[in-house]
Structure 1
Amino acid sequence: MCGAVNPEEEFECVSCGEELQQTQSAQNEFQSIRAKDVFGRSWELFWQYPGVCLLGPLLANILYVLVCILMFVIGLLVFMGLSLVMPENSLLLVLPMIFLGLIALVMLLYVVAYFELGKVILFMRVAQDEQPALSNIFAGGQFTGRMVLCSLLFELLIFFANMVFVLAGYALALLFWPYPYLLVDRNLPGVESFGKAVDVTKGNLITLFLVFLSLFGLVILEAVALIGLAYLMVAQLSLPPGPVVGVACLLGVAGGLFLYSFLQLVKAVAYVQITRAA
């Protein structure tokens, strides 16, 4: 307006007070999305990278279970070793086990956060069409500490909200779910990611609600369809129930893996569409 030169960080002109362009850009930082676009893009990307989308979360969850089993075995061996050298029901046996149990709990939280971040990074790469790889599930190390604290805070918020009113927790989950994506995408401090998460979701709450409700409906539809088909095969076609139930369980696991992977991709695509300018 006046031709004055302003420092980059200023929001108003130091000479005439005119609002600078960067303020207007900041107001348009997040975009409105449509459920159709989110599902369409997610479906396209899923079949562009089917192996990564299916195997990534499966591998992460298998490794998580293996680590949990390893921790349990180590804890059991330690307990057996201590019980051999200490009197039964001794306080000297109880206290070390409590201490080791707390250490195991902290380690478990870190393992959960590590692999959850790995899945976030993997599906963010898919959503941005940036050549994702299974190795992405091991890329969350630098964010793990903040993720542990944020996850604890998130779960506590949901728990206490549900104690007040059962649907309040779901409302908060809808507001704050992008916090791990912000941790990874913008390397934000832990608590700050919650405030920014509300900025991401508040303009798209109805759309996000419809998206997640549709995915929940698909889960219910899959369960009803499998139960119904199994019943018809046993009751109407007189097929042996054992094999029918076995096949239904296998189909349920396969369908569950697909829906879980697709949900992860839908969340990443929704985040990318909201936070990236068209």
Structure 2
Amino acid sequence: MTIEFECRYCQKVLSAPDDKAGSLARCPQCGETISVPVPEGMTSLSRADEGGSDTGTPVPEESSFLAEGTLREEESVLSTGQTVCPMCGEEAPAGALNCDYCGETLQSPGPGSGEPRKIEVGAVLSRAWGVFSSNLGRVIGVHFLAYILAVLCSVAVLILFIALGVGAVALLGEPEPGVLIALGILGYIVVLLINAVFQFYFLLGVLSYILKLVRGEQPSFNELFSGWPYLGRMLLCSLLFIFMYALGYICLIIPGIIIALMFGAYPYLLIDRNLPGIESLTQSRKITQGNLMSLFLISLVLGSIVLVPYLSLVFATVGMDRGAGPPVWFPIVMIFFMAFVYLFLIPFSVLVGGTCYAEMTNQ
């Protein structure tokens, strides 16, 4: 038999085989997910025997709307949105890789699944350079715009606090020198903290933009303002990360390097998976497992790149101290060094970080 019904969103008349009654499908006209209705009194027996057939001629599935735009079940073409674990019998979201209750593997991960994997140094650098060279203006532009916005916010905060200080002095009179110094130090600390919040806010936007570029998407510069939902967790995780790194660095430096490599992917995890609390730190340890040496070698490559302009700056300074060479060379080299660092090295390093994350999570 055939079930005929209307889409409740666009009123298109649809037909489906009776064995699909109760299933979910996507309307070919409006794209909304709809449920194939179950006729009253329908049993496993033929509806024709009961006189309940909607049409005289059954329509095969390949001739119904169910055959249009066939998708995988986990994409909810004929899915209830849940799958049953064969091990424990609990329900899990359709498309889940593992059961949340017993850990049973429900399906094997494929490319782009986000499942951790080992990375290759050459593959990461090659992919990063390809994205960087083909999106040079966009990569540099988003960093430059973030710099400008952060500076403007810092200046605005500084002006606001100066105005508040001048207003307070005008209303309350000039305080004692000791009190004035204490208030000045307190105000300076508050300004630094507020500026740090702005820095993290725009950093989240830059990382989100870069991660989308690495994935082959075409983000807009509005992505710079997308970090608000993650800001609180970013600040919390960053404080813990800095504390762990400083503690490890005190312990003969090497533990600090290991901690930085092990937990350094937490901002990308926070943006990509919107993880609660400090879970992005724990997940970072999982995805970097087996990749610490590769990450260390990539860091060495990036560090060696900065040596070229840095050594040029050192040699120029030494030459000036010895009276060799005209003084005009120093500001030129200094400008070259700053431009190289802020317009090339930092954007490329951030892009490499996003590429490392994408490679480690099989994206």
Q: TM-score interval w.r.t. the shorter chain? A: 0.7 to 0.9
Closer/same/farther in 2, CA of residues 10 and 135 from structure 1, 3 Å limit: same
Counterpart of 2:353, as a letter, is K
Measured after TM superposition, the shift of residue 90 of structure 1 is 8.9
1:85 corresponds, among 152, 171, 174, to 171
Counterpart of 1:207, as a letter, is S
Structural mapping, 1:34-53, within 5 Å: 34-53=120-139
1:12 match: 87
1:148 match: 235
C-alpha distance in 2 between matches for 1:235 and 1:102: 40
Write out per-residue CA displacement over residues 159-214 of structure 1, whole angstroms, 9 at most, x where no aligned residue.
22223333322221111111010111001013111100001111211100000111
C-alpha distance in 2 between matches for 1:239 and 1:221: 19
C-alpha distance in 2 between matches for 1:52 and 1:179: 24
1:245 corresponds, among 312, 330, 337, to 330
Measured after TM superposition, the shift of residue 97 of structure 1 is 7.3
1:172 corresponds, among 259, 262, 268, to 259
Structural mapping, 1:88-103, within 5 Å: 88-89=175-176
SS at match of 2:291: helix
Structural mapping, 1:165-244, within 5 Å: 165-228=252-315, 240-242=326-328, 244=329
C-alpha distance in 1 between matches for 2:252 and 2:135: 40
Structure 1 residues not aligned, in runs of 5+: 1-6
Question: Runs ≥4 in structure 1, deviation > 6 angstroms?
Answer: 90-102, 229-236
Counterpart of 1:136, as a letter, is E
Write out per-residue CA displacement over residues 143-174 of structure 1, whole angstroms, 9 at most, x where no aligned residue.
11111111111112212222333332222111
C-alpha distance in 2 between matches for 1:187 and 1:219: 33
Counterpart of 1:183, as a letter, is L
Q: For structure 1, which segment, 142-151 or 219-228, has the greater mean C-alpha deviation from structure 2 after superposition?
A: 219-228
Closer/same/farther in 2, CA of residues 100 and 225 from structure 1, 3 Å limit: closer
Counterpart of 1:256, as a letter, is V
For the 8 Å contact 2:302–2:349, the answer to whether it is kept is: yes
Q: Flag the structure with more relative contact order, 1 or 2, with Cα contacts below 8 A and sequence separation at least 6.
A: 1
1:138 partnered with 2:225 = yes
Closer/same/farther in 2, CA of residues 226 and 162 from structure 1, 3 Å limit: closer
Identical counterparts, % of pairs: 28
C-alpha distance in 2 between matches for 1:175 and 1:247: 39
What RMSD, in angstroms, separates the aligned Cα atoms of the two structures? Answer: 3.4
TM-score by length of structure 2 reads: 0.65
For the 8 Å contact 2:249–2:256, the answer to whether it is kept is: yes
For the 8 Å contact 2:316–2:330, the answer to whether it is kept is: no
The structure with the greater share of residues assigned to strand is 2
1:263 match: 349
Q: For structure 1, which segment, 43-52 or 130-139, has the greater mean C-alpha deviation from structure 2 after superposition?
A: 130-139
Closer/same/farther in 2, CA of residues 9 and 274 from structure 1, 3 Å limit: farther
SS at match of 1:8: strand
Aligned pair count?
267
The structure with the greater share of residues assigned to helix is 1
C-alpha distance in 2 between matches for 1:48 and 1:131: 12
2:339 match: 254
Measured after TM superposition, the shift of residue 270 of structure 1 is 0.8
Counterpart of 1:12, as a letter, is M
For the 8 Å contact 2:319–2:325, the answer to whether it is kept is: no
1:61 partnered with 2:147 = yes
C-alpha distance in 1 between matches for 2:248 and 2:216: 37
1:22 corresponds, among 106, 131, 135, to 106
Measured after TM superposition, the shift of residue 262 of structure 1 is 0.4
